[in-house]
Structure 1
Amino acid sequence: MTRRWGFLHLAVLRPLLTVTALLCLYYLLPVDQVLRPWTVAVFAGGLAVVVLLVVGEVRMILRSPSPAWQGVQALALILPLFLLLFADVYYVLGHGRPGAFGSALSRTDALYFTVTVFATVGFGDIAPVSAAARVLVTFQMVADLIVLSVVLRVILTAVQHRRSSTRDEPGGAVRLHRPPVPRPTRKPGYHRATSSRPDEAAPAHGGNGDHDRTQRLVEER
């Protein structure tokens, strides 16, 4: 029961709660309606936080007893945060500069456009028009390639390394060892009595007693 609850907690509940919390923050937090230098600074700081999260999650994977599920939790935190940062900037850019896209963007529209760019399945219903919007979309394309080729590979490598190190640990697998069989030890100074000459061999049991009895009978007669 405890193992099953741990599996549900790491593989299902934590990733689901993480994605839900990030979506709630995206829709509820107020943002500027005009693209300002402060907005650009916040966006750059958010990308720096994503990089720090990658480093921290890799370290947690390398120490986790369940590296695969910790990797799922890492992806459930890093990928949504990465996409929501771009969606937020698209939303601000669409409101601050109405001609940046083909139409005004709501929060859902901005998130939809971000996911289509990430998945490279753009349908053409929302397209960047201004130079600023095209530069931002191009930057996301490059960042998407970095995430898919570097971040995912780093996380998967950390999971595989942790799994191999867990198998190599002494306590990682149950090994049966037979206890050593104690060997009989001789006491110091003990030597087995052996005879090197056949005439010194010990007589058979009862031989000396019959000889003495015969001599006594002869002497009494």
Structure 2
Amino acid sequence: MGGRVRVGGVLGHLLLAVGTVGLITWLYYLAPLDYGFGAVAVLALAGGLLLFGGLVLWQVGAIARAVHPRLRALEAMATAVPLFLVLFASTYFLLSRDRPMSFSEPLTRTDALYFAVTVFATVGFGDIAPADGTARALTTVQMVADLIVVGLVAKVLLGAVQTGLSRQPERSGP
């Protein structure tokens, strides 16, 4: 029976992670992105990145206190990474709507999300590329932020997992 509880717990955490990714993606497609690219968009990106940083810090504490810190870290990544990508995708979409020549082609929401994921995954540009200085600068900001997310945030979350595991009582048995 103990094995079933573990499998059920793991399944619950996995479903929550997948559901969170789906919810963030759904909200991205519903968001009223009908204003142009300008100060409001830049401030929204900056505010979103501050929110992202606060979320990561909150998640560190939650992971360290969790009964299952590894699974909690999975949930944290399923929230943080899609939020991060949607922030940049929204900004790319607004820039493309306001200045269609900013990219090698005008971007739909799906194109903007694809481009943000392409930059994050560091697979290089294929069919969509930044075509003007503003788009290149914004893409460069994402690249630098990606390095921070992949390096620093992953390290911090891993440290929280280690802290959570070290707080757990020793288990006896096989």
CA distance in 2, matches of 1:123, 1:58: 33
CA distance in 1, matches of 2:56, 2:23: 19
CA distance in 2, matches of 1:2, 1:148: 32
Instruction: Give the aligned CA root-mean-square deviation in angstroms.
Output: 1.4
CA offset at residue 130 of structure 1? 1.1
2:34 counterpart residue number: 32
CA distance in 2, matches of 1:29, 1:3: 37
Deviations 1:34-70 (A, max 9, x none): 1121121111111011000111100001110100000
Unaligned ranges ≥5, structure 2 = none
Amino acid at match of 1:173: R
Match 1:8 to one of 11, 30, 34: 11
CA offset at residue 5 of structure 1? 2.1
TM-score, with normalisation over the residues of structure 1?
0.74
1:157 counterpart residue number: 159
CA distance in 2, matches of 1:173, 1:126: 52
Residues 71, 155 of structure 1: 8 Å contact kept: yes
Residues 100, 129 of structure 1: 8 Å contact kept: yes
Matching of residue 146 in structure 1 with residue 148 in structure 2: yes
Matching of residue 134 in structure 1 with residue 132 in structure 2: no
2:59 counterpart residue number: 57
1:103 counterpart residue number: 105
CA offset at residue 33 of structure 1? 4.0
CA distance in 2, matches of 1:128, 1:13: 36
Unaligned ranges ≥5, structure 1 = 176-221
Deviations 1:134-178 (A, max 9, x none): 100000000000001100011011101211221xx4xx4359xxx
Q: How many residues align?
A: 170
Identity fraction in percent: 46
Distance 1:123 1:41, change over 3 A: closer
After TM superposition, what 4+ stretches of structure 1 lie above 6 angstroms from structure 2? Answer: none
2:23 counterpart residue number: 21
CA distance in 1, matches of 2:39, 2:156: 32
Matching of residue 41 in structure 1 with residue 43 in structure 2: yes
Bigger Cα Rg: 1
Deviations 1:167-213 (A, max 9, x none): xx4xx4359xxxxxxxxxxxxxxxxxxxxxxxxxxxxxxxxxxxxxx
CA distance in 2, matches of 1:69, 1:140: 27
Match 1:90 to one of 83, 89, 92: 92
More helix as a share of residues: 2
The farther-off stretch of 121-130 and 59-68 is: 121-130
TM-score, with normalisation over the residues of structure 2?
0.93
Match 1:114 to one of 116, 122, 126: 116
Residues 32, 39 of structure 1: 8 Å contact kept: no
CA distance in 2, matches of 1:79, 1:49: 12
Amino acid at match of 2:123: V
Distance 1:26 1:119, change over 3 A: same
CA distance in 2, matches of 1:109, 1:134: 16
Match 2:74 to one of 60, 72, 79: 72
CA distance in 2, matches of 1:66, 1:124: 40
